[in-house]
Amino acid sequence: MTSRGPILVVTTGGTIDKQYFDALSEYQVSESMVATLLRTARVTHGFRVVELMRKDSLELTDEDRQLVRSVIEEAPERSVVVTHGTDTMVQTGAALAGLADRTVALVGALAPARFAESDAAFNLGMAFACVQVAVPGIYITMNGTVFPAAQVVKDRARNAFVTAA
């Protein structure tokens, strides 16, 4: 297999980058953990991180989704990972539909990356693998599965992503 070149990582926030700031606060989106996760995993594949925003996905607007799309469209990289909160990941996937000649994987976590038992590192690894081998398109990589973004939903009762009915 030949390399597709470096991977662009666009961070938008979400649980993957949340932390407690003090004993009285709820989780808040903080500085992205993506570069740290990739260094810890000893990733040698080239990548570039663009920390675009620090929002819970429930706070993302149509304008935010358009900004994510614009950054991807203007980037030289053809392989893109977007870290994102899980609540509206499917909507952002829909907003990215039709990006020409790009392989994009949206990824998040159900527990913050700062937690020892987080799924963040595994999910990020899945996204990196996905964008290196999948055909161009928009994907969601969660729960050990790669889903075409247009064919997935978040099942809140199971706290997992599943193929849409």
Q: Is residue 1 part of a domain?
A: no
3 state DSSP class of 124: helix
**CA dihedral for 122, 124, 129, 133, sign (positive or negative):** positive
Q: Is residue 2 part of a domain?
A: no
pLDDT of residue 121: 84
CATH number reported for the structural domain that contains residue 64 in this entry: 3.40.50.1170
The encoded tokens of residue 61 equal 């607007």
The encoded tokens of residue 120 equal 């963040």
What is the CA angle 131-8-153, rounded to 5?
A: 50
Write the CB contacts of 14 (distance below 8 Å, at least 6 apart in sequence): 29, 55, 56, 57, 83, 84, 85, 86, 108, 109
Write the CB contacts of 11 (distance below 8 Å, at least 6 apart in sequence): 17, 32, 34, 49, 50, 51, 52, 53, 54, 82, 83
Q: Is residue 129 part of a domain?
A: yes
- pLDDT tens for the chain, 165 residues: list them: 445 789 999 999 777 665 555 555 555 555 677 788 788 788 888 899 999 988 878 888 999 999 999 999 999 999 999 999 888 999 999 999 999 899 999 998 876 676 667 778 889 999 999 999 999 999 999 988 999 999 999 888 888 889 987
Q: Is residue 130 part of a domain?
A: yes
Q: Is residue 119 part of a domain?
A: yes
Q: Is residue 41 part of a domain?
A: yes
Element (H, E) at 94: helix 89-95
For the entire predicted model, the pTM comes to 0.85
Expressed as residue numbers, the domain containing 151 is 7-163
Q: Is residue 108 part of a domain?
A: yes
Write the CB contacts of 70 (distance below 8 Å, at least 6 apart in sequence): none
> What's the structural domain count of the chain?
1
The encoded tokens of residue 37 equal 């996760």
pLDDT of residue 57: 81
pLDDT of residue 151: 94
Q: Is residue 98 part of a domain?
A: yes
Question: Closest by alpha carbon to 55, among 82, 23, 79, 37?
Answer: 82
